[in-house]
Structure 1
């Protein structure tokens, strides 16, 4: 299973915000500079994280973004469920003629549930055991234009 770059960028942005002092705001530009990713793509990621309740956005001259919950309240499985289409195969489009006898979809669904069960054991806080080292590595790079 491979996650989309959307989820990759979401986890990166959540990790960065989790290294900041509680309540400190940052900007999408800062996140894109740190990871060297497309600003346009990151805007969509942050917007989705905001709608899912993981990120708080503050408008205005002194606005920005920050975590909407403590890192201990952000489950990794919860993030994936909010961002990823978890249906690995679609047997209905186009309709698969072996559907009545096929067991593959059930096996893949079981594997997806096992994957999520593993992620459900961890929170964003668990990813911060080396918070100091993470903070030291989050140095802005050249921003990628998109």
Structure 2
């Protein structure tokens, strides 16, 4: 299974925000500069993360973005569920004529659930805690 770039950069943006001190905000321009992704793409990602409550966006002169809740409360599986279209195959009648007899869709659904269950074992805090190499790469103070 390969995650979309939308989910990939969503996870990266959250990792960047989680690596900052809790009281420090960042902005979309800083996140895009760190990862070299288009600002327009990152705006869409941050908007989705904000709607999900994973990011808090503050408007205005002293505004910016930060995690919507502590990194220890953000499970990686929940982020993927929020951002990733998890339908591996289209089993609707117009695309698949064997739907009523197909066992593959159940196998694939179970595989996705197992994948998400594994991701649920980890939080955003697990990705950044005591990770000096990450801080150096992100140039976090």
TM-score, structure 1 as length reference:
0.91
RMSD: 1.4
Counterpart-to-counterpart distance in 1, 2:57 and 2:95: 42
Q: Could you tell me which runs of 5 or more consecutive residues in structure 2 were left unpaired when the two chains were aligned.
A: none
SS at match of 1:7: helix
Q: Distance in 1 between matches of 2:65 and 2:109?
A: 35
* Distance apart, 1:98 and its partner CA: 1.3
Residue of structure 1 equivalent to 2:48: 48
1:39-118 matches, cutoff 5 A: 39-92=39-92, 94-118=94-118
Residues in 2 aligned to 1:7 and 1:95: alpha-carbon distance in whole angstroms? 26
How far off its partner does 1:131 sit? 2.9
Deviation at 1:82, TM superposition (A): 0.7
Give the match's secondary structure for 2:56.
strand
- Unmatched runs of 5 consecutive residues or more in structure 1: 140-146
Aligned residues: 140
In the alignment, the residues of structure 2 paired with residue 90 and residue 25 of structure 1 have an alpha-carbon distance, to the nearest angstrom, of: 40
- State whether residues 93 and 99 of structure 2, in contact with CA within 8 Å, keep that contact through their aligned partners in structure 1: no
